[in-house]
Amino acid sequence: MIGPYTVIVGPVRIGDGNWIGPHVSIGTPGEDRGGPHPAAWDTAPAGDPEQDGNGVVIGSRNRIREYVSVHQGTWRTTTVGSDGYFLRNSHIAHDCLVGDGVTIASNAVTGGHCHIWDGANLGMGAILHQKVVVGPGAMIGMGSAVRREIGAFTIAVGNPARVTGVNVVGLSRRGVDEETIEVLGPWLKGKAGLPDVALPGDLSTLVKAWDARPREEQ
């Protein structure tokens, strides 16, 4: 479903089963310029900072509520995964990578080039500085201003946002018991290496991917 008054500017690729509400804007340029844009949005070479045109890719089964905006990439394709929930007036900026199962609450805003990993949750009115990385399963409290990386399955609140604990609820919902959460605690807080613990298959893959992420994302 695509609601009334929604604007989609290519190149945009959208998967199946998405619910896109009214007055949504997808694929519009990340910025306005005094000079002319290319006649076709898909003509800009990849990684050319002088022209927009790297587009937007959105997965499947997302709920994108009214007045959400998603800007197309300048250096890379703005990418949104599947099974996400993007509430009223939230904004995904140019060149962002948003994983699967992400929730971005009303009026939450990302700067450009942010990477939001699978299962992360941005509370109402949260603000992400450019190039911020939010780890899988992390919870950002409402109204928080995030200026630095937030680790996997942690809770961060405040301005500037600071990690206040482990997202126990998020881990429990993924089938992790209390004893295992306690063992994972030091790693989640960045104080120790990843322990050798048994985790559900999909979570184990996600945790290992986060632990092995590129150095520039650490």
Active site residue 94: yes
Please tell me which residue in 81, 99, 101, 112 is annotated as part of the active site.
Answer: 112
Please tell me which residue in 52, 53, 81, 95 is annotated as part of the active site.
Answer: 95
Active site residue 95: yes
> Which are the contacts of 20, defined by CB distance < 8 A and separation ≥ 6?
1, 2, 3, 6, 14, 26, 64
Q: Is 1 exposed, middle or buried (CB count within 10 Å of its CB: 0-12, 13-18, 19+)? A: exposed
Q: Which two tokens stand for residue 4?
A: 């009334």
**156, 141 in Cβ contact below 8 A?**
yes
Nearest 5°: phi and psi at 207?
A: -65, -45
Sign for the CA dihedral angle at 139, 18, 77, 50 comes to negative
Active site residue 112: yes
Q: Which two tokens stand for residue 165?
A: 């604990």
Q: Which of 60, 113, 118, 121 lies closest to 90, judged by CA?
A: 121
3-state secondary structure of 208: helix
3-state secondary structure of 189: coil
Q: Which two tokens stand for residue 91?
A: 């904004």
Residue with tokens 């995904």: 92
Please tell me which residue in 71, 94, 113, 115 is annotated as part of the active site.
Answer: 94
Residues marked active site are found at 94-95, 112
